[in-house]
Amino acid sequence: MAGQPPTENRKEAGLPPVSLDGEADREAFNIEESEFGLRKQVATHILLGFGLANAVVLIVIGCLIYLDASMIANKSIISSERVVNSNVIMALVGATTVQMGTIMITIASYLFPKNGRNRS
């Protein structure tokens, strides 16, 4: 994208063309282009953070499953006393679904507002 004219960046992003007849139009266009880059960067960081947080949770759950299996193999606990059971798995799936939905709504509504909507 670097080195391409700004109008090609707008086409790739699905944004409507901008008329640059007046100085005010040129200034608004430059601000809009810089906001688009910032929004894209913030969205990328949010998604990377989400992925990292879920990866850490999966690693912890994997460690707990390993501990459960080794304790069951050593007969330290019985199968019904394990830490990671079906309730833990269902809670993880539900929490991940809620997190993903919340992040997508945040990105869609705040970082990419609809035209004509005022931002604070």
DSSP collapsed to 3 states, the chain = CCCCCHHHHHHHHCCCCCCCCCHHHHHHHHHHHHHHHHHHHHHHHHHHHHHHHHHHHHHHHHHHHHHHHHHHHCCCCCHHHCCCCHHHHHHHHHHHHHHHHHHHHHHHHHHCCCCCCCCC
pLDDT of residue 66: 92
pTM (global) more than 0.85: no
How confident is the prediction along the chain (120 residues), in pLDDT tens digits per residue?
A: 444 455 556 667 666 665 556 555 566 666 666 777 787 888 888 888 888 888 888 898 889 889 988 998 998 888 888 888 888 888 988 888 898 888 888 877 777 777 654 444
pLDDT of residue 78: 87
